[in-house]
Amino acid sequence: MVFSGFPLVHPLRPKRSDMFAKEGYALIIASLVMGGIIGTLGWMTGGIPGGLIQGFALLIVLFTLYFFRDPKRTIPEVPANTILSPADGKVLKIINIDEPLYHKGPAKQISVFLSPLNVHVNRIPSTGVIEFDEYVPGDYLVAWHEKASELNERSQLGLLHPSGEKVLFKQIAGAVARRIVYHVTVGDSVQVGERFGIVKFGSRMDIVVSRDSEIIVKVGDKVQGGLTTLGYLPTSN
């Protein structure tokens, strides 16, 4: 629930004018070069086969540009105990767990699955200070696998909210993804909705909060990073 008297977090406006995520620049350039080479081969081949080759080259470039798009977003004014979705995608599951890493006890997990067609820029789910960060090499199970959060390549970031509540969020690689990128570390003060990283080519994000948190989304809901409210952290106010 939204608690009266709980301060509001004011909108976070976009600071960058980039159309594409900077983490994708190298692959975008590579796709342009590859597309140009393949397209030239298609032009040299000529006829219907050549046209098909050129079409394939164009698809490579367009998909890469589409995947690494980074749309401007103004984060809405929300109560300070709000949990915003850290990613675009679909709510995969909402479960109670025993979390040994950061909460060290009973907790609630919300998992968001990102298809290759979703925006893959990741955002901070709640305001606070980063207390824990860890990169874990791992397997590449499909992102919806029940063991993906334990076995797959992932980042694990622990955030302490000003109220004392803990929020653990994980970038989890899927069967295709092979590159997790994040730009926060222990001691960083972060604001809800702030851009912090990306997982390339299909992935999942887990958000782990205290068991008493109120979750207002349900399994199957479509969410947008930095825009959709997942729920609210508990507070004594």
DSSP 57: H
d(CA 209, CA 107): 6
Residues 158 and 124: beta-carbon distance below 8 Å: no
Strand segments (E) across 100-186: 105-114, 121-123, 128-136, 154-160, 166-173, 180-182
Distance CA 151, CA 137 (A): 9
**Among 225, 24, 19, 219, CA closest to 118:** 225
Catalytic positions, please? Answer: 203
CA dihedral 75, 78, 84, 88 (to 10 degrees): -40
User: Nearest CA to 90 among 222, 195, 231, 191?
Assistant: 222
Q: Which two tokens stand for residue 204?
A: 């999942």
Residues counted in the chain: 237
